[in-house]
Amino acid sequence: MRKLATLLILCAGSFMLLAQPTLDIDNFHMNNGETYAIHQVEYQTPSASGSDLMWDYGSLALTPVDTFEVVDPSSSIFGANFPSADVAIRTTYDVHVYYSQGDSGVFTQGNASTSAWTAFSDPKMHYLLPATLNSTGSDDYYKITDNGNGGQTISEGTTTITSDAYGTLSLPFGTFNDVLRFVRTEDNILVTIADGDTTYSSITLIQHFFLCEQSGWALLELNETIVDGVSYYGAFATEPLIITKVHEQFGHSSLMEVFPNPASRVANVLFESELKEDWELNIYDFRGKEVFDTMDIREYHSKIDLSMLEAGGYILEVRSKTGERIQQVLILE
């Protein structure tokens, strides 16, 4: 990247009803096998920035658009063309999009299908990580698109991403806690070359998107695209269908083990050492819905009755009274 403004993280006051969520590359990786469904929804005017907000979009009508799966770029059909990519997605239309994940975020390397391709010689910032409230980053990008019919499109611009709010996000397929909202602004000049003619367009994208640990993809995107002074609006909700990521423990020095995993009717929660304070245990499905009554954990070894839960994947979370927590994926057979 030619220019990368490092993150500026401004921590607001320490005394809040809810702790500020923090996203980093260690707890946000997209992992092979994860599957998502993309839905078109009605555009919603973004609310003001702030803390501990409630975004209630639970009544939005969902129009299915596509699904995609996270795949290994090295074994994908176009992976050799994007050697810097360490993650890729494949849509039902067999379009492959390639990304690299690093210390400063997720960057788009390009995309390809059997009929067209796009390559970034200067990759574009896709997600800004690590991030908490008021994190900001800016990055230049440069891409060339072969339209498959002899024409080409060249786009050069700057992406700026700022996290301006956090809270709880309600969507038709679930409620998600500890969500960060980001504002992406892209200013670029689009040059299209086709049939011997060259046209120039000035395009600005203003996008509000919502991220949390429970999904490796933005849960909601609210897009305003301004082309030569004219605004166009669109919005998409992305539903996590299959999530395979294992959440790493953070904010506490004790290690926790859950076994057996996969489990059937009973699981054991074992801490590395004796607990110095009481913890609470909750279990959530991958859409963020709580499916288990809160249980107090006072001993370093506890048995959990799971007989009331259906087979599938869950997130087991233990949280201290001071807000520190550990999360781990739990599979029930």
220 and 301 housed in the same domain: no
Hey, what are 297's tokens? 């954990």
166 and 296 housed in the same domain: no
pLDDT of 326 reads 73
214 and 322 housed in the same domain: no
281 and 200 housed in the same domain: no
Q: Is residue 88, in this structure, part of any structural domain at all?
A: yes
Q: Is residue 86, in this structure, part of any structural domain at all?
A: yes
213 and 278 housed in the same domain: no
From the list 165, 176, 219, 206, the residue with the least C-alpha distance to 47 is 165
**CATH number of the domain where residue 317 is located:** 2.60.40.3080
Q: Is residue 251, in this structure, part of any structural domain at all?
A: no
Q: Along the 333 residues of the chain, how does pLDDT read in single tens digits?
A: 433 333 333 333 333 345 688 898 777 768 887 888 899 999 999 999 999 999 999 999 999 998 898 999 998 999 999 999 999 999 988 899 999 988 889 999 999 998 899 999 999 999 999 999 999 999 999 999 997 777 889 999 999 999 999 999 999 988 888 999 999 999 988 888 777 788 888 999 999 999 998 788 999 999 999 998 899 999 999 988 765 543 333 333 345 778 887 888 888 888 766 676 778 888 987 666 788 888 888 887 888 999 888 887 788 888 777 666 676 777 787
The parent domain of residue 207 ranges over 4-242
pLDDT of 194 reads 73
pLDDT of 88 reads 95
| Separation of CA 208 from chain center | 13
Q: Is residue 28, in this structure, part of any structural domain at all?
A: yes
DSSP for 6-44, written as a single string: PP------S--SSPPP-B-GGGT---TT-EEEEEEE---
Residue-wise over 222-255: b if at least 16 C-beta within 10 A, else e?
bbbeeeeeeeeeebbbbbbeebbbebebeebebe
147 and 192 housed in the same domain: yes
**Calpha distance 192→146 (Å, rounded):** 10
Per the CB < 8 A criterion, the answer to whether 265 and 248 are in contact is no
Q: Is residue 250, in this structure, part of any structural domain at all?
A: no
154 and 55 housed in the same domain: yes
**Calpha distance 325→297 (Å, rounded):** 12
| Separation of CA 70 from chain center | 12
**Calpha distance 294→281 (Å, rounded):** 6
**Calpha distance 206→225 (Å, rounded):** 6
Hey, what are 24's tokens? 């980093």
Q: Is residue 326, in this structure, part of any structural domain at all?
A: yes
- Which of residues 207, 242, 277 is at a domain's end? 242
31 and 147 housed in the same domain: yes
Q: Is residue 282, in this structure, part of any structural domain at all?
A: yes
| Separation of CA 116 from chain center | 26
- Which of residues 211, 242, 273 is at a domain's end? 242
Hey, what are 277's tokens? 């304070």
275 and 229 housed in the same domain: no
CA atoms within 13 A on the CB side of 1: 24
pLDDT of 272 reads 67
- Which of residues 242, 277, 306 is at a domain's end? 242
230 and 289 housed in the same domain: no
Cα-based distances in Å from 123 to 13, 158, 186: 35, 11, 14
- Total structural domains in the chain? 2
Q: Is residue 249, in this structure, part of any structural domain at all?
A: no
Contacts of 101 (CB under 8 A, 6+ apart): 25, 29, 30, 86, 87, 107
From the list 240, 230, 283, 291, the residue with the least C-alpha distance to 261 is 283
CA atoms within 13 A on the CB side of 160: 10
pLDDT of 243 reads 58
Burial class (CB in 10 A: 0-12, 13-18, 19+), 75: exposed
**Calpha distance 225→230 (Å, rounded):** 8
pLDDT of 323 reads 63
pLDDT of 15 reads 31
**Calpha distance 260→268 (Å, rounded):** 7
182 and 43 housed in the same domain: yes
10 and 40 housed in the same domain: yes
pLDDT of 8 reads 31
Give the SS3 label for residue 130: coil
Give first-to-last CA distance, the chain, whole Å. 46
Cα-based distances in Å from 150 to 95, 111, 142, 194, 238: 19, 17, 20, 7, 33
Per the CB < 8 A criterion, the answer to whether 172 and 55 are in contact is no
